[in-house]
Amino acid sequence: MTSSELRNLKKQKEEAVDDDDGISQLSDALLIQILSLLPIDEAFTICILSKRWQYLWTLVDNFYFTCANYSDIKSYTGERLDDEEDSCRDYHQINPFATLSKNSICNFELLDLAKGDDMDLLSLVPSFVFPNLKNVKIVISPE
């Protein structure tokens, strides 16, 4: 088929598929593959989109986090706030990373970790037990 024939066909068909509605046709597996390419904190914000999306992000296979400073990641893995525990129990989201499916994670990357925080990293280890981890990359920023 020549390219001009292709172009004609394309024109004819363009309208027919225009009313297809975007990503709702994509499978959960495909959405998870896309979410896996986002930094983990961005993947997490996806939970706000709708109930279908609430737990999709917890099945990502990459844990990417760029910490401008260590306090960022601490705020995600930090302690539950007692007074809010009851009101938020349904969402498990005071410590959102606790809801991650630990078995799914294959790649773990912490970028731009500030110097000096690397020691504190040890205290994070209990939060990050990923049985199927294959690659780990931790980059400490020079200054």
Partner 1 sequence: MASTTETKQKKMLILKSADNDEFEIEESVGVQSETIKNLVEDGFTFVPLPNVYTKALIKIIDYLKKHANKTDSNDEEIKTFDKDFVNTTFDDLFELVSAANYLHISCLMNMLCQTIADRIKDKSPEAVRKIFHINCDYTPEEEAKIRKANAQAFEGQFDESLD
Q: How far is the CB of 93 from partner 1 (least distance, A)?
A: 5
Q: Residue 132 CB, nearest distance to partner 1 (Å)?
A: 20
Cα(77)–Cα(127) distance, rounded to whole angstroms? 7
Q: Which is nearer to partner 1, 14 or 143 (CB)?
A: 14
Binding site for partner 1 (CB under 8 A): 1, 6, 9-10, 13-14, 16-17, 20-27, 30, 33-35, 37-39, 41-42, 44-53, 72, 75-76, 84, 87-88, 90-91, 93-94, 96
CA-closest candidate to residue 41, choices 100, 118, 117, 92 = 100
Task: Report the C-alpha gap between 143 and 134 in whole angstroms.
Answer: 28
Residue 59 beta carbon to partner 1: minimum distance, rounded to whole angstroms: 15
User: Nearest Cα to 112, choosing from 45, 39, 34?
Assistant: 39
Strand 62-66 to strand 135-140: parallel, antiparallel, or no bridges (unpaired)?
unpaired
Q: Which helix (H) or strand (E) holds 41?
A: helix 40-45
- 5/143 with CB nearer partner 1: 5
Nearest distance in Å: CB 39, partner 1: 8
